[in-house]
Amino acid sequence: MTAVLKFCVSFALYMQLTLLSVCINADKQTESAVMKPLHTAACDETSTLKLDFYNIMIGNCKPGGRWEETLSTVELERLNPAKIVQLYKRCKGKGFATALKPYLIDFLKRRETFQTVLDMFVDALNEEEKSNELGRDSALPSILLELSPKDIFVALFEVTPEAAHSRLVALHATLKCGIPLVYVLQPSLRQSRTVVNFSALQEVLASPSYPLVVSCGSENAIGRGKSNLTGRLVGQLQTSSLSSDSFDIQTSGGIGTPTHSPSIDLVLDVKANWKGGLNFADVHGFTLEEDFCYALSTLCSVAALVLVHITT
């Protein structure tokens, strides 16, 4: 057993050094070579999905509002499909998460996952479909069916003032769900933005933490069930169950949800069948963007173990 553990640690260190070497070599390439777009149908489809998500859920609205009051009070009116349609019409299809923000924060304070919100989206779209049969125009976009609980949290995070980010992450951490540590947004087809949330995690990481395990994979491992496998491994280790949203599972149909890849999710305090537990950093996809490489190399440098999933 000791020999196997030594091999795993040695292999993890080797892969970490290899990853850093790749990042350094890529940085030495010309900017045009690094930024050259991949003209594939899958890439175009994913970019369009990311762009629609940004425009509809986040928009160009600057985060604002009295966040102290929002985080310290309870929303008395419960969200429902009819209210969703009303709020979407009010925001005119731009920055939908801003209109939903009081209700989404209320879900977090009540320790309810955003899967309930997604179910309401489905119900609202079904009602819209019935309205279409009666000759009425549809208000809700079909992209709402492509979202995951993680996408909802990312949108909420983006429309919340930076001063409230730590508190928002702390509320989300109580659900034992994966916390979006790194993700990429697409404000336009020619522009992307990598968000790294180390500062927002200060509150949840302030107390002594468990050893970190980083789970990443090769390019061919994307969409092949890496996160499912990690989740099953965790299921074998843990004594208490995690939320079903703990690991961001890629949707069917060949493309992931808008913020799925590339991204890094952090699952904290996974209770195991021994004294203590584990923290998991689940890496989805990869990009040579500087901030993403920095975040990944930082995680690997402090990890107790790096799991590399290789699919040929």
Can you tell me the distance from the alpha carbon of 93 to that of 137, in angstroms, rounded to the nearest whole number? 14
Can you tell me the distance from the alpha carbon of 176 to that of 267, in angstroms, rounded to the nearest whole number? 7
The phi, psi pair for 246, rounded to 5°, reads -60, -35
| Residue 80: predicted pLDDT | 92
Can you tell me the distance from the alpha carbon of 110 to that of 78, in angstroms, rounded to the nearest whole number? 12
Pairing type for strands 277-284 and 305-309 reads: unpaired
| Residue 124: predicted pLDDT | 92
Can you tell me the distance from the alpha carbon of 41 to that of 257, in angstroms, rounded to the nearest whole number? 16
Single out the residue of 102, 99, 114 nearest to residue 149, CA to CA. 114
| Residue 123: predicted pLDDT | 93
Give the contacts of 23 (CB within 8 A, at least 6 positions apart): 288, 293, 297
| Residue 36: predicted pLDDT | 33
Place of tokens 């709402």: 144
| Residue 235: predicted pLDDT | 58
| Residue 143: predicted pLDDT | 92
Length of the chain: 312
CB–CB of 204/211 below 8 Å? no
Token pair, residue 140, equals 């809700």
In the sheet that 263-271 helps form, which strands lie side by side, from edge to edge?
Answer: 191-196, 179-188, 263-271, 277-284, 212-217, 305-309
| Residue 136: predicted pLDDT | 56
Can you tell me the distance from the alpha carbon of 14 to that of 299, in angstroms, rounded to the nearest whole number? 15
Exposed e or buried b per residue across 192-227, where buried means at least 16 C-beta atoms within 10 angstroms of its C-beta: bebbebeebbeebeeeeebebbbbbbeeebbbeebb
Give the contacts of 154 (CB within 8 A, at least 6 positions apart): 180, 183, 185, 259
| Residue 274: predicted pLDDT | 52
Handedness of CA 300, 301, 303, 306 (dihedral sign): positive
| Residue 294: predicted pLDDT | 93
Residues of the chain with pLDDT below 50 are 1-41, 135, 238-255
DSSP state of 176: T
Rg, Å, the chain Cα set: 20
Q: What single-letter amino acid sits at 288?
A: L
- In which element (H, E) is residue 282 found? strand 277-284
Token pair, residue 181, equals 């540590």
Can you tell me the distance from the alpha carbon of 237 to that of 195, in angstroms, rounded to the nearest whole number? 31
